[in-house]
Chains A and B, each alone.
Chain A
Amino acid sequence: MSPDVSVKTLVIDGRDVGATGEQTILEVAREHGIRIPTLCHLEGLMPAGACRMCLVEVVGSNKLLPACVTKVSEGMEVRTHTPELLELRRMTLELLFAERNHICSVCVSNGHCQLQSLAGEHGIDHIRFPYQYPRLQVDTTHPRYGMDPNRCVLCGRCVRVCAEVEGAHTWDLMGRGAGTLVTAELRTPWGLAQTCTSCGKCVQVCPTGALFDKGRAVAEMEKRREFVPAILAGRDEEEELVP
């Protein structure tokens, strides 16, 4: 199958936009400066459609669709910021904050965290659900990096960048449901993982402070994403971190 290069016209938030048939709603929206929040998505990695932050309303569809994987079609009418969507995104974020331990004031990524900036963007000032705080073991066996699963949002970006870009596939998900954990191969301490090349890509794509450079104090961990080609083009960063 050759790629669909036909031109489609569609409406996003009342604006007429043009796209090719192979593009996703998210790509087209970003090209036109329309912001759709994302968390598990990172341009250059396979989309997952897992975090549900980018859900949008498409007129004529009774289900909400994830913008990161939904292809555009002719005449499509997309709404990205209805009151319902804003409330759903807010609740998704609250569920994430309650799921593990996300106390910003003691986090290396304070001020440089995507979860934090999304919370700011959605005006979250309190969480309606009890905190679960599951006391998970921190792994600092790697000489250069550390892994704190208590800060992990299970977006899977580290797993994907390690498998798809670095080709090492040191990380994968273990278990399922709320007990899912990102682990280095065979649950060995990260420092002993045979396939890890210590490239650090996982650290840099991690949206929170779950993966970090050792030796960083609170709020010192800024992530650099420039090795994923699409990000090198300078598009993603300002989209991701809204001040």
Chain B
Amino acid sequence: MTEEMIDAGRLDDLLRAIVNGHRCQPGQLVQILREAQDALGYLPASALTAIARALALPRAQVEGVAGFYSFFHLAPVGRYRVLFSDNITDRMLGSAELLERLCNKLWIERGKVSEDGLVSVDTTSCTGMCDQGPALLVNGRAMTRMSAERIDRISELIRTQLPLADWPPEFALVEDNIRRRDTLLGAEWPAGEALRAAIARGAEAMLGEMKLSNLRGRGGAGFTTAIKWESARRAACHGEQGIRYVVCNADEGDPGAFMDRSVLESDPHRVLEGMAIAAYAVGAHTGYLYVRAEYPLAVKRLKLAIKQAERLGVLGHNILETGFDFHVEVRLGAGAFVCGEETALIASIQGGRGNPRPRPPFPAERGLWNSPTLINNVETFANIPTILRKGADWFASIGTEKSKGTKVFALAGAIRNTGLVEVPMGITLREIVYDIGGGIPGDRTLKAVQTGGPSGGCIPAEHIDLPVDYETLNKLGSIMGSGGMIIIDDSACMVDVARFFMEFCMTESCGKCVPCRAGTVQIHNLLTKIARGEASLEDLDRLEKLSNMVKRSSLCGLGQSAPNPVLSTLRYFRDEYLAHVVEHRCPAGVCKIAAEGEVIR
């Protein structure tokens, strides 16, 4: 449907119905815009005006929100919107060539809508299908394992305008590819048992148990979970009296990470139970599950799981007849990586632009609508029921001294068995890559393992016998992160790898603080200059200084960690940088080195 086809009166009625469906709450703005776009194809100015009026919000604010998220379109888009997942693993599998092939077949230019308004083709940040790439989204629906044949078939399907629902189902097949299960992915017992036990023991005893378990957040930084819980429980209510919230961060966006997607798709009840237990411990009665829009299947299964859990009496009113209420709502993102940062996530749930704010105050003290808010990652919540069912001592017996339990990693890139592996903390990278992952395909050799996505770093092959735990990875200049692990073989150029991640951070920067907004652009410029063989040793020095500056002065975690891939490759692969700068050559033969006087666009 386009704007011309729908008259003003009908537009108003349609939007009013959507807004009323969300009880006219301005906090639902992101959700309302999503639904309006689903109905209209894009968000014309008239729709934004009508939504602003219905919610009594300034038009500029509504438009500012719509303009922030990459999945909102303010101008008409193709009836078929094809978005290629842009990750280094997709690139390794040839997604750039496939994109070009599709554009040629359809006679269109990348990023532009065809003249008949039928189709547009572009890229989007990694869609979390790295183990079954190259992947793409067609009108939000994930399509995996693309090949030249499949691309040709898709171009035919689009030209014949076959409805998406009638497309071959094998194109949209999403596998969970779990290669190794342990206590988390292998847990099998009915939902509600751990919750019942937890409520019987009381909140204080539960906090004690959590402290003993020494569980650390699985989302990235590795903050001790019990400390977060305790501060959320004890924090004074600055918002409405007595109101606290529990939020599950499922805005998994690291290129190369798909653990949370798989956990949500395969075992949503475990996550919901973990949230309910946390809610009981901190005294919350409302929870939000913030899921990235790229995961429609996970959203569908979650919504179903919530209904089932409510019917079973383990969620909703009077849980397990104990008088404890806990309601969970699913909130969808709209294509903004920064919303995985907890203060940006809060802003997004409240219906705003996903701009982070300085911490402190931490969300545990002032979060959603100024109330104490506990935010944990999907995998963290999924661990809770197991800990409470089997006991903190049992949990703490797995792993290393400071990193307890198991961790799920997503293996992608140059490895035989791509997919998820759940391993005890402290296992070596060698065991993960060779014993479980089956090693490097072909006659290639391992060069590095990239962990922690755009916030992490590249661990060189010589360190693969070190244990995988929070401290060791930090010492190596990387981070545990959420669990993305991209295996890099000797066909890759490390300058190119660093440049990919910097491009990602530059695209995903919210633009609020200067170091991240302008600094990532300049770092990317410098890396491009190096990749072309046009940089000087001075540029290399500048790159290092600027990287440290962005790390030190950015406002949020995105900016503070954005230079990590650059700094870690400079640390371990300086010789590759020097080869580009001094010898004007790319050792891996990946980068296009400019000839004298040549301009590469």
- CB-CB under 8 A from A180, the residues of chain B are 511, 517
- Are B553's CB and A64's CB within 8 A? yes
Q: Type the 1/0 row for B537-551, where 1 means its CB is closer than 8 Å to any CB of A.
A: 000001001100100
Interface residues of A in 90-127 (CB under 8 A from B): 91-92, 95-96, 98-99
Minimum C-beta distance from B522 to chain A (A): 5
- B357 interface residue per 8 A CB criterion: yes
A69 to B59, CA, bound (A): 28
Instruction: Name the contact of B521 in the complex, choosing from A55, A64, A132 (C-beta under 8 A).
Output: A132
Question: Interface with B: A139-147, A182-190, A210-218, which one?
Answer: A182-190
Interface centre among A52, A66, A88, A154 (most CB of B within 10 A): A52
A91 to B510, CA, bound (A): 20
Interface residues of B in 524-566 (CB under 8 A from A): 525, 542, 545-546, 549, 552-555
Interface centre among A91, A171, A195 (most CB of B within 10 A): A91
Known: A49-B357, A130-B525. A95 touches B60 (CB 8 A): no
- A173 interface residue per 8 A CB criterion: yes
- CB-CB under 8 A from A88, the residues of chain B are 549, 552-553
Q: Type the 1/0 row for A130-163, where 1 means its CB is closer than 8 Å to any CB of B.
A: 1010000000000000000000011000000001
Minimum C-beta distance from B539 to chain A (A): 10
- Are B509's CB and A185's CB within 8 A? no
- Are B49's CB and A173's CB within 8 A? no
- Are A92's CB and B515's CB within 8 A? yes
- A5 interface residue per 8 A CB criterion: no
- B513 interface residue per 8 A CB criterion: yes
- Are A177's CB and B511's CB within 8 A? yes
- A243 interface residue per 8 A CB criterion: no
- Are A185's CB and B58's CB within 8 A? yes
- CB-CB under 8 A from B520, the residues of chain A are 177
- CB-CB under 8 A from A99, the residues of chain B are 517-518, 521
Instruction: Name the contact of A178 in the complex, choosing from B45, B517, B546 (C-beta under 8 A).
Output: B517
Chain B residue nearest to A129 (CB atoms) is B522
- Are B49's CB and A186's CB within 8 A? yes
- B445 interface residue per 8 A CB criterion: no
- Are A170's CB and B60's CB within 8 A? yes
A161 to B172, CA, bound (A): 49
Question: Interface with A: B63-71, B223-231, B423-431, B582-590, which one?
Answer: B63-71
A50 to B518, CA, bound (A): 12
Instruction: Name the contact of B522 in the complex, choosing from A48, A50, A95, A172 (C-beta under 8 A).
Output: A95
A184 to B67, CA, bound (A): 13
Interface residues of B in 79-129 (CB under 8 A from A): none
- B274 interface residue per 8 A CB criterion: no
- CB-CB under 8 A from B508, the residues of chain A are 177
- CB-CB under 8 A from B353, the residues of chain A are 173, 176
Known: A91-B546, A175-B511, A177-B509. A154 touches B517 (CB 8 A): yes
- CB-CB under 8 A from B546, the residues of chain A are 91, 129
A173 to B45, CA, bound (A): 16
Known: A49-B358, A88-B552, A154-B511. A178 touches B521 (CB 8 A): yes
Chain B residue nearest to A130 (CB atoms) is B525
Interface centre among B64, B236, B545 (most CB of A within 10 A): B64
Known: A88-B549, A180-B517. A52 touches B63 (CB 8 A): no
Instruction: Name the contact of A176 in the complex, choosing from B509, B513, B522, B545 (C-beta under 8 A).
Output: B509
Chain B residue nearest to A173 (CB atoms) is B64
- Are A69's CB and B515's CB within 8 A? no
Instruction: Name the contact of A51 in the complex, choosing from B49, B338, B510, B514 (C-beta under 8 A).
Output: B514
Known: A1-B236, A184-B60. A175 touches B68 (CB 8 A): yes
- Are B549's CB and A91's CB within 8 A? yes
Q: Which residues of B contact A (CB under 8 A)?
A: 45, 48-49, 58-61, 63-64, 67-68, 74, 236, 238, 336, 338, 353, 357-358, 360, 506-515, 517-522, 525, 542, 545-546, 549, 552-555
A-B contact pairs, 27 of them (CB 8 A): A50-B513, A50-B555, A52-B554, A55-B553, A64-B552, A88-B553, A91-B549, A92-B549, A95-B518, A95-B519, A99-B517, A99-B521, A129-B522, A129-B525, A170-B58, A172-B58, A172-B60, A176-B353, A176-B511, A177-B510, A177-B520, A185-B58, A185-B59, A186-B48, A186-B49, A195-B58, A195-B60
Other A-B contacts than A95-B518, A153-B514, A177-B510, 16 sampled, CB-CB below 8 A, are A1-B238, A65-B358, A95-B515, A96-B518, A99-B518, A129-B522, A129-B525, A130-B522, A130-B525, A163-B61, A173-B511, A175-B68, A177-B508, A178-B511, A187-B74, A195-B59
Q: Which residues of A contact B (CB under 8 A)?
A: 1, 48-52, 55, 64-66, 69-70, 84, 87-88, 91-92, 95-96, 98-99, 128-130, 132, 153-154, 163, 168-180, 183-187, 195
